[in-house]
Structure formats: structure tokens, C-alpha cells
Amino acid sequence: MGRTETLKSRLDAKGAKWMTWRDREVVADFGDPAREYEAVRGGGLGLVDRSGRDTLVLAGEDAVSWLQGLVTSDLRELVREGSGQLTSAVNLVGRLIAEARVLHMPEMLVLDLEPGVLADGFLSHLKRHLITEDVQILDRSAQTSRLGIFGERAAAFLQKHCTLAHPMGSRAMFEGTWGSLGDHDIVVQRVPTTGGPGYEIACATEEVADIWDLLMATAELTPVGFETLETLRIEAGIPRFGVELTEERIPLEANLDHAISFTKGCYLGQEIIARLDTRGTPARLLRTLVFEGGAAPEVGAEVEVEGAKNAVGEVVSSVWSPRLNTSIALAYIKRKYNEIGDEVRVETRKAIVQPLGYPLDSTRDSV
């Protein structure tokens, strides 16, 4: 894990309350989740410790062509240094092994993954498929720390306080750049985590506490914890590996079409993905469920429909949505029952099926 004791003391000084997620220690909140939420959605800026994430570096003459055969996206689109994309890796039957943000850096590809993905099998999966290719696979998780900045003014903030190779406002989703903050080298990548402007700063682990201090010294940022970030993410309908994205899921079910190329040619699991795409709608889809008040449903709760003998879906994440002032959930729901506007029941309560990101899209003009 790329978090130092010095950074941990900085977080503690801000009132950090700790929890464990995927065997990593994360800050649950800083004592006032409502304030943290407002910092991101209300025109301010939130600063999040993201140091638990995995970082993988691929270098060598064959790195791109080799990885091209193991992921669903088309890496040939990453022509320019600073270009980036979302990708996924699947097994022979099309089930997810990993999801990663890829960034083309000078002479290397950098993959940013959820905590523990490398140790849980993705690193060994990659190494099994390396034969004679000129590829160096480097797990840099312990040497890399990450901090996230989220909010409407995030790009302007970074442009003001950092020296960067590319203007932040010109970066498309998953694109990045590199430069410095003070005397510290940084890499910045645009990410969709909250459904609004967001960027993650990667730096050397031993420098992260100093970078935290420099960022907080601007007096423009509010520390934000894991639980608020999850609320923001679920409102935005951004699936997360280890939560909505698991080894039993197929990327198409989770609306990861933007992480799949249907024209790139062969890759591991491609035949199953192509067959599902040709057939049309997958057997189930990830949807947002909107309830009429009440507490958020339990993860694992069954989604039911009147007249159906068995459950037609399952809740995989849920929160109270400040944006809608009601509880919402993300759920996988079977075909025939997942049309937008359909009525379902969870824990005896009515819910309406909506697209991913509905809490933001339905209120964007009124906020």
C-alpha cells in the first residue's frame, strides 16, 4: 500500500475515521459526511486519499501488442503520450478478471486498478501469458501513492497550482499528463469516479505527505472519505471492481461497452463477448433503482416483480442519495424486467428502474 505513516498522521489530524475495504485501510469519513458531499457536488473541491489502489507498469518493445491480446479495449488508440482509456480483462468464458485505467506515459503503459486486484490473480494471469515477448511487468503499488481531487473547479485548481505538460481542461476522460507540484514530480489522470470533474494525482509514496500538505495549504480543498466517495460514485452509476464488477459478471452486463472494442480482432474471451453483442441485450443489466424514501436496501436483497415466480435481480450496492433525497441502489436485473420505468419491489418496497447515472442526469438542469 502506498500510504506512509506521515500521511496517516495528516489524515488523523483532520479527524479520519478508519475502516477496511478489500483488506486495505481507508478513511471512512472525516466526521461530517454531509459537508464532504457538499464540497464535491456543491461547487467546492474534495481531496481523497486513494493510496490503496494498485499500480502496474508495463514497459518494453512488445508491451502494447502483447497486452492487446489480453484486454477488451483497443490499445492501438493510445497513440499519443498522455492518451488513456478504460479497459477490462476477461477469461475464456467472458467473465471479468480485472478492470483498469490505462495511461500511455513516455516509454510505458501505466495501469491503475482497485486495491488488491493484482494480488488476487491479475498479476499471475498476466505473467502466465508472457512467453518470449519483450515486456517488463512491474508492480509499483507500494512505491506509488494517489490523491483524488473532485469538484467543478478541479481542472482549474490543478492548472493554477501545478506545472503540467498539457492543459488540464484539454484532457478527455482517462487522458493524463505529467509535471510537478512544488518540487515533486506528479502524474495526473482524468477519472469519472463521481460523474463530475475528477482527477487523480499519482506520486512517489515517500512524497505523498508533502503533496497533501501543499494541496491543503491552498485552503481550497475539503478532505473526503471513502463512504462519501461511494455515495457520489453510486449516484453517478460508475461500476467498481470488487463491488458491481466481480468475477461472475460479463462487461456488457455492467454497461462497460466503452471499455470494449468490437473491431480490434482477437483477444482472450473475445468470442464470448462478440457473441453476446451479436445477440443483442445481455441476459441481465446493471440498473439504478430509485425508492420512495426509506433506508437504503441491504446489499444482496432480491429484486422481485409481481407475477414472477423467482427473483429477477439482486441489489449489489445501495446508498441514501442526497441528490434525490431518497434511497437508491445499483442492481443487476434480468431481461424483460429491466426496462426504464419498470416497477419492481425490493424488501417489499416499490422501486423504479432507471438508467445508470439517473440521479445526476435527472437533476442536472435544476442544480
Residues 136-158 as b/e (b if ≥16 CB within 10 A, e otherwise) read ebeebbeebbbbbbbbeebbebb
Q: What is the 3-state secondary structure (H, E, C) of 166-191?
A: CCHHHCCCCCEEEEEECCEEEEEEEC
Nearest-CA neighbor of 84 among 187, 159, 156?
A: 187
Q: Are 172 and 155 in contact (CB under 8 A)?
A: no
- Cα–Cα distances (Å) from 365 to 31, 151, 165, 356, 362, in that order, read 31, 17, 34, 17, 8
Rg over CA atoms, the chain: 20
49 half-sphere exposure, CB direction, 13 A CA radius? 32
Name the residue with cell 490543478: 158
Count of beta carbons in the 10 Å neighbourhood of residue 127 = 10
Computed from CA positions of residues 92, 95, 97, 101, in that sequence, does the dihedral angle turn out positive or negative?
positive
Q: Rounded to an integer, what distance in angstroms lies between the CA atom of residue 42 and that of residue 39?
A: 6
Q: Rounded to an integer, what distance in angstroms lies between the CA atom of residue 162 and that of residue 170?
A: 15
131 half-sphere exposure, CB direction, 13 A CA radius? 2
Nearest-CA neighbor of 118 among 268, 1, 266, 3?
A: 1
- In the chain, the amino acid numbered 12 is D
292 marked as binding residue: no
Q: Can you say which residues are annotated as belonging to the binding site?
A: 200
Q: Can you say which residues are annotated as belonging to the binding site for substrate?
A: 200
